[in-house]
């Protein structure tokens, strides 16, 4: 039994107790533009009010991602990023006082070894894994490893999920449920789909303690809108774009702006 880092549920509850509307959850892929550069950006996020960081693991076949994250992932892979680099980033975030989880397509975890990955993530100070292409039905080994190493299982729920599916997702999730606000891939959208509010309500009805909304949020206004009904606001592509065009300082500025929307 290893001791994992801060769990997402604890972090989300602390945000609520502090009287803030929602937590700010940020996604950046490790290795973009370099491992050191991405780690520096993630620490900057913590300093600018981000509560939970999803450390993305670049993958050759990111079927759930739109062009911004695809390109960042390809660049990271071209630069030679490896699975083990994710633990470096997680450790830096934990040291900076942030809560870190990993977001990864399943094959990378599978090839590392599900139990080994959970063990190394926990000892790096990570809190769990977001699994975009793993449904609870297929997650047997991960259910066991997450129990053993005290990690959160963050499954996704979609607007298309039936009540039966939502019940199953809620039953097997820990920390929070990732509510995909729209039917589609990651990317900045001019409006966050109004499916999201309904999905969060349905998740709560199904017994979810906490639900965080992702896919499409890019600015303070959208963050504030989602913060009204969600426990956390997840931002990805907009931050990757900011890092690409304005560097670490730019990411910090956008994070601070988004954090105001969640306050």
Partner 1 sequence: MTDLSEETGPYFGEFGGRFIPEALIPALDEIEETWRKSQVDPAFTDELLTLQRSYIGRPSLLTEATRFAEHCGGARVFLKREDLNHTGSHKINNALAQALLAKRMGKTRLIAETGAGQHGVATATAAALLDMSCVVYMGEEDTQRQALNVARMRLLGATVNAVTNGTRTLKDAMNEAMRDWVANVDDTHYVIGTVAGPHPFPAMVRSFQNVIGVEAREQIQDMAGRLPDAVCACVGGGSNAMGLFAAFLGDADVKIFGFEAGGEGVDSGHHAARFSGGRPGVLHGSATYILQDADGQTQASHSVSAGLDYPSVGPEHSHLHVTGRVTYEPVVDEEAMEAMRLLSRTEGIIPAIESAHALAGAMRIGRELGPDAVLLVNLSGRGDKDMTTAAKWFDYIDEGAVQV
CB of 78 to partner 1, least distance (A): 11
Residue 84's contacts (CB-CB under 8 Å, 6 or more residues apart) are: 120
CB of 220 to partner 1, least distance (A): 26
- Residue with Cβ nearer partner 1 (212 or 262): 212
Query: Do 113 and 105 contact (CB within 8 A), yes or no?
Result: no
| Per-residue contact flags (x/-) with partner 1 for residues 203 to 242, judged by CB under 8 A | ----------------------------------------
Residue 241 in tokens:
């774009």
Q: Is 160 in the site for partner 1 (CB under 8 A)?
A: yes
Q: Which residue has the tokens 């449904």?
A: 135
Contact window for partner 1 (CB under 8 A) among 35-43, 87-95, 149-157, 205-213:
149-157
Backbone phi and psi for residue 161, each to the nearest 5 degrees, phi listed first: -65, 135
Return the closest-CA partner of residue 248 out of 19, 38, 61, 69.
38
Beta pairing partners, 180: 214
Q: What 3-state class would DSSP assign to 157?
A: strand
Catalytic site includes residue 54: yes
Catalytic site includes residue 65: yes
Among the listed residues 169, 196, 242, 255, the single contact to partner 1 using CB under 8 A: 169
Q: Is 60 in the site for partner 1 (CB under 8 A)?
A: yes
Q: Which residue has the tokens 């993305």?
A: 56
Among the listed residues 14, 108, 167, 256, the single contact to partner 1 using CB under 8 A: 108
Among all residues, which ones are annotated catalytic? 54, 65
């Amino acid at each position: 039994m290893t001791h994992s880092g801060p769990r997402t549920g604890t972090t989300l509850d602390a945000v609520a107790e502090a009287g803030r509307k929602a937590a700010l959850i940020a996604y950046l892929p490790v290795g973009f533009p370099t491992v050191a550069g991405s780690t520096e950006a993630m620490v900057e996020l913590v300093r600018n009010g981000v509560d939970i960081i999803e450390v993305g693991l670049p993958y050759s076949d990111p079927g759930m991602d739109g062009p911004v994250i695809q390109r960042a992932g390809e660049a990271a892979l071209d630069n030679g990023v490896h699975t083990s680099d994710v633990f470096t980033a997680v450790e830096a975030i934990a040291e900076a006082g942030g809560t870190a989880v990993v977001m990864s397509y399943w094959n990378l975890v599978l090839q590392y070894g599900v139990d080994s990955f959970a063990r190394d993530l926990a000892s790096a100070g990570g809190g769990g894994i977001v699994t975009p292409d793993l449904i609870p039905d297929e997650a047997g080994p991960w259910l066991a490893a997450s129990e053993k190493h005290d990690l959160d299982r963050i499954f996704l729920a979609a607007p298309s999920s039936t009540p039966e599916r939502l019940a199953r997702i809620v039953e097997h999730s820990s920390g929070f449920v990732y509510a995909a606000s729209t039917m589609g891939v990651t990317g900045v959208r001019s409006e966050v789909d109004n499916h999201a509010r309904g999905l969060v309500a349905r998740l709560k009805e199904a017994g979810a303690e906490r639900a965080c909304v992702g896919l499409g949020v890019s600015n303070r206004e959208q963050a504030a809108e989602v913060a009204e009904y969600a426990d956390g606001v997840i931002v990805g592509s907009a931050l990757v774009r900011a890092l690409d065009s304005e560097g670490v300082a730019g990411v910090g500025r956008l994070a601070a702006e988004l954090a105001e929307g969640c306050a």
